C-alpha cells in the first residue's frame, strides 16, 4: 500500500500517454553531466565500427546527403519529465547499419565530450532510432545535442546520446556512463526501468 | 565508491518528517526519519513520491542536503505553480509521511579522499548538493580547499546563510562569495548581474591547479557557468554539472 501524503492532491489524474512516474512538461529541459560541447560541423564526423574493427565514417555533408525523415515522438527523461509530440528530423539508423555484415547484438554509442551509452542493436533498427539534426524545424542547438544526436524515444532519454560521434558494435554488452553509475542497463520508461534492479 | 552506494535494488521506503526548518521565505528544509537509510555520498539525490488520498501519485528528484549518518535532510524551494515543491516547502509538517528511494547518482559526488581543490558554483537552490559536500568536508576534517560561488537574486534568497557564515569562520579553507543578480546589499562592490567570467577568475581556481568543479542550479545558470569554466581552460571532465530545471 502506498503511503498517502496528508493533504496532497497534485494535478489529479495521470495521463495515459505518460509512463509510470512521469509528469508532463511543455518546456524542453536539459540534462547532461558536464559542460555543453560546441562542435563545428566542418570537423564533425560520425564513425561506425563493427566488432571486427571495420570502420566507416561520414562527414557532415555526407551525413546530410542521406535520406532524412520527419518524425513526431514522445520523450521521457529519467528525471521524471516527459514531453509529448516533439518534432525531429533525422537519418534512420538503417541507413548506416542496413547493409552491414555483423553478428553483433550490442552497440556502444559515444559522443563528443566523452559520454557513452549502450543499447541492443535491435533497438536501433525497425524505425525506432534516428541520428537527428533538426528539432522543431530548426538546426539542433548544442544544449539539446547539436549538431547531431541519437534519438531513441522508446527508451529513457539518456540513451539518446547528444553530440553523437560514433557507434561501436559489440558481441558483448558494455555499460555506458550512466549505466555504470546505477542507472538501468536497458531503460524502458513503460516498465519504469530507471535504476539497477528496477 | 559511488557504485557501492547505488548497488542493488532501490526500493521505495516510507519516511516520516521529524522537523522542518525555514531557510528563506520560499525554501524549507525537511528532516526525514528514513529508517535504515543505506547512507549516501555528498552530491547524490533521492527520488520522492507523493500519493494523494485518491491514489494519484507523482515523483520528483531532490538533492540530499545532509552529510554522513543521521537523519536525511532535503531543502526544497517552492516553484510558483509547481505541483510538488509548494506542497513540500509550505504544507508539510512534522509527522507527515511520504515515500523516497535512493540514493541516486554516482557522478555528481565529492569524495573525501580526492585531494584536488574544489570549486562549487551554485545558482539558487543549486546550493543543496554543494552544501552536502561542504558538510561532509567538515565532518571528515578535510583540509581540501573549497571555494563556493553562490549566485542568488537578492540577499533574502540565501539558503543556509547563517551556517555558511559560521563555517567560513570555523572550517579552515572554505571561502564563500555571493553573486547577486538583481539586488545587492547596500555598498556591495559588485553591481548586480548574472555570473560573469571575472567572477570565476577572482573567486575560483586557475585550471593549472586541476580543480574539480561542481556546478548546480537552474539550467540557464549551469549552462552559463559550465561554458565559462570550459572557456577558461578547465577540461570538460573536471566540470560536473547538475541541472535542476527551470
Ligand atoms: C537531480 C535533481 C535534483 C534536484 N534537487 C533539488 C533540490 O535539492 N531542491 C529543489 O528545490 N529542487 C530540486 N530539484 C528540482 C525538483 O526536482 C523539481 O523540479 C522542482 O521542485 C519543481 O517541481 P514542481 O513539481 O514544484 O514543479 P512542476 O509542477 O514540475 O513545474 C512547474 C513549472 O516550474 C518549472 N520548473 C521546474 N523546475 C524548476 C526549477 N528547479 N526552477 C524553476 N522552475 C522550475 C517547470 O518548467 C514548470 O513550468 C532537483 C532536480 C533534479 C533533476
Other Cβ atoms within 10 Å of B26 Cβ, number: 19
pLDDT tens-place string over residues A79-113: 999 999 999 999 999 999 988 889 999 999 999 99
Q: Does domain B118-243 bear CATH number 3.40.50.80? A: yes
Question: For residue A117, is pLDDT > 80?
Answer: yes
Residue A143 lies in a domain: yes
**In this predicted model, what pLDDT tens digit does every residue of B197-245 receive, in sequence order?**
999 999 999 999 999 999 999 999 999 999 999 999 999 999 999 999 8
A142 belongs to a structural domain:
yes
In a domain, A108, yes or no: yes
Asked whether residue A63 is domain-assigned, the answer is yes
Query: B61 to chain A nearest CA, in Å?
Result: 7
- What band does B2 get if pLDDT is binned at 50, 70 and 90? very low
Provide the residue ranges of all domains of chain B, joining segments of one domain with +: 2-104, 118-243
What is the domain range of residue A118?
A: 23-27+45-51+58-191
Residue A145 sits in a domain whose CATH number is 3.90.420.10
* Listed residue (A136, A131, A127, A120) closest to A174, CA to CA: A120
- Over 70: is that where the pLDDT of B4 sits? no
What whole-number distance in Å separates Cα of residue B224 and Cα of residue B228? 6
Distance from first CA to last CA of chain B, Å, rounded?
31
Domain B2-104 has CATH 2.40.30.10: yes
* pLDDT band of B85, cuts 50, 70, 90: very high
User: What is residue B19's predicted lDDT score, i.e. its pLDDT?
Assistant: 98
Is the beta carbon of B44 within 6 A of some atom in ligand 1?
Answer: no
* Residue B128 Cα to ligand 1 middle (Å): 13
B76 touches ligand 1 (CB under 6 Å) = yes
Query: Does the pLDDT value for residue A186 go beyond 50?
Result: yes
Could you give the percent of chain A with pLDDT greater than 70? 99
- Assign B157 to helix, strand or coil: helix
Q: Mean pLDDT score of chain A, rounded to an integer?
A: 95
Count of CB atoms situated within 10 Å of the CB of B14: 14
Task: Classify residue A106: in a domain, yes or no.
Answer: yes
Distance B145 CA to ligand 1 centre (A): 30
Mutate to test the interface with B, among A24, A141, A145, A182 (most CBs of B within 10 A): A182
Residue B141 has pLDDT above 70, yes or no: yes
As a whole number, mean pLDDT of residues B126-148 equals 97
Ligand 1: distance of its center to the CA of B246 in Å?
A: 7
Q: Does any ligand 1 atom lie closer than 6 A to the CB of residue B125?
A: yes
**Count of the separate structural domains present in chain A:** 1
| A118 in any annotated domain | yes
Q: Is residue A37 part of a domain?
A: no
Q: Which three cell numbers stand for residue A120?
A: 541492443
Amino acid at each position: 500500500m502506498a503511503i498517502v501524503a496528508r493533504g496532497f492532491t497534485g494535478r489529479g489524474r495521470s495521463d495515459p500517454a505518460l509512463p509510470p512516474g512521469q509528469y508532463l512538461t511543455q518546456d524542453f529541459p536539459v540534462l547532461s553531466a558536464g559542460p555543453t560541447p560546441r562542435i563545428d560541423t566542418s570537423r564533425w564526423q560520425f564513425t561506425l565500427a563493427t566488432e571486427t574493427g571495420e570502420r566507416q565514417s561520414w562527414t557532415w555533408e555526407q551525413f546530410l546527403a542521406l535520406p532524412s525523415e520527419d518524425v513526431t515522438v514522445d520523450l521521457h527523461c529519467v528525471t521524471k519529465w516527459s514531453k509529448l509530440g516533439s518534432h525531429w528530423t533525422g537519418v534512420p539508423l538503417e541507413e548506416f547499419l542496413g547493409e552491414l555484415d555483423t553478428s553483433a547484438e550490442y552497440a556502444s554509442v559515444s559522443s563528443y565530450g566523452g559520454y557513452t551509452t549502450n543499447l541492443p542493436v535491435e533497438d536501433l533498427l525497425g524505425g525506432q532510432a534516428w541520428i537527428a539534426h533538426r528539432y522543431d524545424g530548426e538546426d539542433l542547438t548544442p544544449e539539446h545535442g547539436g549538431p547531431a544526436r541519437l534519438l531513441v524515444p522508446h527508451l529513457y532519454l539518456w540513451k539518446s546520446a547528444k553530440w553523437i560521434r560514433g557507434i561501436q558494435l559489440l558481441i558483448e554488452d558494455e555499460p555506458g556512463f550512466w549505466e555504470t553509475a546505477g542507472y538501468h542497463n536497458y531503460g524502458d520508461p513503460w516498465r519504469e526501468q530507471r535504476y539497477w534492479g528496477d | 565508491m559511488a557504485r557501492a552506494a547505488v548497488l542493488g535494488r532501490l526500493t521505495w521506503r516510507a519516511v516520516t518528517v521529524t522537523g522542518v526548518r525555514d531557510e528563506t521565505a520560499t525554501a524549507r528544509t525537511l528532516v526525514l526519519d528514513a529508517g535504515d537509510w543505506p547512507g549516501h555520498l555528498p552530491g547524490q539525490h533521492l527520488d520522492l513520491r507523493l500519493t494523494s488520498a485518491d491514489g494519484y501519485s507523482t515523483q520528483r528528484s531532490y538533492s540530499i542536503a545532509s552529510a554522513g549518518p543521521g537523519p536525511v535532510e532535503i531543502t526544497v524551494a517552492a516553484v510558483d505553480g509547481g505541483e510538488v515543491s509548494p506542497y513540500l516547502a509550505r504544507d508539510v509538517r512534522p509527522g507527515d509521511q511520504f515515500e523516497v528511494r535512493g540514493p541516486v547518482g554516482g557522478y555528481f559526488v565529492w569524495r573525501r579522499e580526492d585531494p584536488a581543490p574544489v570549486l562549487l558554483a551554485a545558482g539558487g537552490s543549486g546550493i543543496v548538493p554543494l552544501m552536502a559536500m561542504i558538510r561532509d568536508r567538515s565532518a571528515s576534517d578535510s583540509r581540501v580547499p573549497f571555494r563556493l560561488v553562490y549566485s542568488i537574486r537578492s540577499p533574502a534568497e540565501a539558503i543556509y546563510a547563517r551556517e555558511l557564515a559560521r563555517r567560513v569562520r570555523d572550517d579552515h579553507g572554505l571561502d564563500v562569495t555571493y553573486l547577486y543578480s538583481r539586488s545587492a546589499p547596500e555598498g556591495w562592490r559588485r553591481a548586480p548581474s548574472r555570473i560573469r567570467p571575472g567572477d570565476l577568475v577572482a573567486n575560483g581556481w586557475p585550471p593549472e591547479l586541476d580543480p574539480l568543479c561542481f556546478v548546480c542550479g537552474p539550467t540557464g545558470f549551469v549552462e552559463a557557468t559550465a561554458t565559462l569554466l570550459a572557456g577558461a581552460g578547465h577540461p570538460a571532465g573536471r566540470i560536473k554539472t547538475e541541472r535542476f530545471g527551470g
